[in-house]
Every structure is written in structure tokens, then in C-alpha cells.
Chain A
Amino acid sequence: MMTPLRAGVARGGIELRQTLTNGIDLFTYLFPALLLLGTIFFMRDAHVPGTTFSLGASTLPSILGMGLAFGGLMTVSQQLVVEREDGTLLRAKATPNGMSSYLIGKAVVVGGMTLVSLLIQLVPGLLLVGSGLHVSASGWLMLAWLVPLAFLSTMPIGAVLGSIFENPRNMGLIILPIFGLVAISGIFYPITAMPGWLQGVAQLFPMYWLGLGMRSVFLPDSLAAVELTHSWRHLETFGVLAFWAVLGLALAPWILRRMARRESGSAVAARRERAIATMGR
């Protein structure tokens, strides 16, 4: 039936518009962008080791890749945990086709938010380190599959994480490992400088591949030389991301259903009691 899809897209659209019209949300768009642009600014005179290419310029695409992973993993899981606690999910459950529409809406709003953040970082970023970055025809083609695949490989996993953790105050358990991944995935510092086993770990997760994919889109092909195996490894990028997409899409419906089945008025009330008790402390 068309309705859950249409209602979900409408829902996502309304929520996306809301993020663009209130101060707190605008701040959460701009603040990371400012931090990242600051980082790039101070890197502008440094060079990618072994080349004369600006380190700032090569970091910008990596950051965009990280942003894609953050959106899918962190924003999705965070919103799911918070909205389970505040009763949004229970309301969805009490509405016909509400759960499917809720999830579709979540994908739309998080996808939209991620793209908005991407643009907010990309446009001023290009002005700062513009020279050397350009997107060829094959680069656009790459973006056309990389961005959707980025969402597919991270959002379902984010939904699974968000379903497992019940308490928003335990979100650190999700966030810290993700920041750990950023550190070892060659986003701010080349992965080639990491010990071999850490390189192995990093290559298991989408974060590294999203950074690599975005670098391959924006950087000149000569810079593939400083990557692992001296290549952009498009096939491997596709393979690893597709693996996570399949894994996530296989797990998410089952885990989401299990999570949704437990939602009830008393479950939400119990969480509210607990939240109020914690806030008082």
C-alpha cells in the first residue's frame, strides 16, 4: 500500500523543515561544521605525507564521509532511543501503519539532515581549500551510488543500536566506540600510519570505506598512491558497504519489531519516572 510510504515521507519532510527553523537544531548543524572547518583551516599549510598536496584539502572529503556514517549510525540510534523514551514510538504504534511510517520518516529526516550538514561543510570547505578538489563525471557517478549505499549500510545498524539501548543516558556506549572508529579510520590522519592490526579493524567497518570513497570522489587520482594498496578500491568499498547494508537490513526488522512489541503505556511511564528521578539528581 502507498499510504505508509507517503505518510512517512510527509512526516520526514515536516521534521526536516522543523530542524531548519529552530535555534537548537541550527546550532547542531553549524557547530560541527565550524569545528571541522577550523580543523581544516589549521591544516591548510600542511601536506599529505610524501606529496605536495594540501592536508586540509584531503581531510575535507574524509570528514564528509565521516558525516555520512555519523548520520546513519549516531543520529538514527540517538533519535530512536530518545523517541522511545518520550513516547513518540508508542504513539506511532497506536496509529494504523504508524510504525512503518515512523521508520520511513526517520530515514527521510536523517538522510535530509545528513545532506544538509554535508552541504554546510562542503561549501565553505571548498572556499577554504578549494584548489585541488574537483569532481569528475565518474566522481558524480560514484556519489550517486556511494551516498545511498552509505545510508543503507549505516541507518539499519543505527536503528539496531538504538533499539538495544533503552536509556538515553547510556548513549555514551554507542558514541564512544564510534569516535574510536573515527580515530583509526584515516579520517583526520592517514590510516597507513596505524599499526597493521588496527588497519585491519578499521577496514571491517563502514567508516573507513566512506572516507575513502569520498576521497576518491574529490581528490585527484594521483593521491590514491598514499592509500592502502595504492588504489581507491571501489570494488572493495562497494563490497564492505553492501555487506553492512545486507546485515543491517536483515537484523533491523527483527530487532525493531521486538523493540516495538514491548512498547506500552506503562513502559513509557516507567521510563518517564526513571528519567525524572535521574534529572533530579
Chain B
Amino acid sequence: MEREIVIIGGGPAGLAAAVEARKNGIEDILILERDKSLGGILQQCIHNGFGLHIFGEQLTGPEYADRFIKEVEKLNIEYKLDTMVLHISSDKTIQAINPEDGIINIKAKAIILAMGCRERTRGALNIPGTRPAGVLTAGAAQRFVNIEGHMVGKKVVILGSGDIGLIMARRMTLEGAKVEMVVELMPYSTGLKRNIVQCLDDFNIPLLFSHTVVRIHGKERLEGVTIAKVGDDRKPIPGTERFVECDTLLLSVGLIPENELSREAGVKINDITSGPVVDESMQTSIDGIFACGNVVHVHDLVDFVTEESRLAGRGAAKYIKKELKKSDERIYAKGNGGVRYVVPCIINSENVDNEVNFFMRVDNVYRNVYLCAKQGDTVITKVKKQMVSPGEMEHLKIKREVLKQIKKGEITFHLEEV
């Protein structure tokens, strides 16, 4: 089968990209989604707080997804559910599989990668101890509780104060479990303030900073964990260990973009984000392969995923219509001094519509700083920030005219003291 645009993943990124590509004149679009419904992880995120930027209102995850699903239906964009992509090659052939069609081979003119991310596991952290039932990622627990309607435990400890961990602390509490505590390795939370207050404080759930789980106990089912305080080097401090009885340990210790398919296709991956290196149109190192959403870098708000994915949809449409310009005059964007990474990191100013919104994450908590973009020593733009933290994505917009003037060279992003 030959298709113009094939989108891998029917979550928020894939849906927004599909809608945008159609609105930009592409008729032949196919979304491949591995789950039983469109919407991706949003379907299990039943809490509210999505959509403030895009819709100006607070929606739950399924409602946010539904807005895009309705649009996909209305625009008659074709999608296949229950369909897993097995292989992608650099010449944009795709092999996928589902129970109805069996093996599907597709030759695409353009591909948009929108596979999202997966959770870091106990194995990746190498937490010592036994291997009982009752240790699972917060996302797996969320699926059990919110989609399947099963409880995963009665007495819970949560490792990691990322948003999923905080949300699950409240969710488990509302469904009758006792959440003993949330333990965070860092001296600060990577979750939103609102979630700390409304998911923990509201229910008197303690949040222990600079602590971690150092041992897992219990032969068949979890019986407890040993927690310990950690020093500045994030290593446990001997003598601070304490046993906490629990039957469930939920892990919310980070997300990793899922790029096995991208790697197979030969797409260049950024070591810091673990996602593809992309340009202003969200095009990867391979012409005609685009990427957007959490597969590129882990976002904190779905609204930004939508924004980025629209860019990818537009980019892919331009590519099909041969409107995407290629030039040797490129600007390279880099993080520096406190900024860990910047997306996008390659700019062909010719392809920029109005402005480029650069997304980035900082490497620590800083107060009273300027977030600035520089060319050499010249400041292009800067904004004052009362506080930045690794948990919250920052962004900085640069106008097309400014980029056109720079044309080629390097822009660096810094944090500077006020």
C-alpha cells in the first residue's frame, strides 16, 4: 500500500499532527495506533488540568483527547487501531500488524513519529531487594485503576514526585487506599505545585525530599520498603534507613522517549533528550520523517505537545507539497549555562512562518534569572524568570525576521543572573 502521510501513534501528538496535515491540504493520511482506541495515554489520565493553553479551559485527559478524535472523525482521517508498527526503514517503508489485516506493508511519502514515551522501571534504577508482586510503575497502576477498574494495593509508597506519581497518590486515596508517603530523590519536586497541594497536602500525604527507596522487602507480595535520606551526591546516607510497611510501591521516576523505531530507521537521536534531533518543521535527520510530542522530548503539558505536533503536521504537508525549503544556511540552537537542551535545534529560517518557539529544560532550580538567547555575545532576546526548575519546561520565542537576519550560525540559550 502507498500512502502520503503515515502517522505512528494516535495519542495527542499523532492526532494533532493528522488534523493539521489535513487542514494543510493533504488528503491521504493514515494513523496507526497500537491501543484499542485513539487518545493514547490521555485516556487513563482522568484528572483535569489539560487544555488551559489550547482551549482556555480545564479538561480531563479523555475530554482533551475527544476534542481531537472528533476532529479526526469529522475530517474523515483514516486510522487503524490495535495496530503495532514493527519496522520502519530509512526509505519510509513501514511494516505494521493487526488482527484484522494481518501484516501490513506501507510505502509512505512522509512519516510522522508520534510514539510517545515509556516509564523508567525498577530495573533501570537498580533498586535492591526482592522481586515481589506489588511493585509497578505509576502508569501501569493508573491503567489498572482507571481503565480496568482494579485496585493494585491497600498501603502504598510512591517513589518519585513527578506528576503521574502525585496524581496516583490522590487517585489511590480516593479509591480507598492509604498512601503512606511520596519519596523524592531530589531536594525539589519535578511535579506541578498544584499537584503537590491538591494531591498530597489535601490528604495529608507526606512528601519526603532527598530520600529514596534503598531496599524492597517481601517474598511473594511486597511487605515493605526501606527508605533512606540521600546526600548531595544523591547517595543514601548510612544510618538514616527506616522501614516503611506497605503492600504497593509505585514508581514515578521518569519517562523515556520511545525511539526504537526511529533508531531502526536511522534517525539521529539526541543523547540528552533521547529523542530525534529535529528542525523548525519537526523534521528529523531523514528527509520526510517528522517527529512530535513525547517521542522527541518529554513534555510537562499536553498543550505544548499539541502545539509542537501541529508544527509537524504542517511540516509534513509542506514536504509532500514540495514547499519545504532546503538550504545550507542553517542556524543551530544549543543549550548552555544551565539549559540542558533546546528543541528544535536546527533552523532553516526560510521555513519559519511567524516565529520559532524554542522549548527547553534547565538543569537545576534557579531563582531570579534571565532566560536568554544569544548569538555569540549578543543577546537576541531574554525574559526574566522568578524561578525555573527542571520539572517545568521553559520556552522562548524568536521572530522569523530575527532568524532571517541571523541566517546561519549558532544561537545559544543561557540562564543568567539578574
Partners in one complex: no
Residues of B within 8 A of A (CB): none
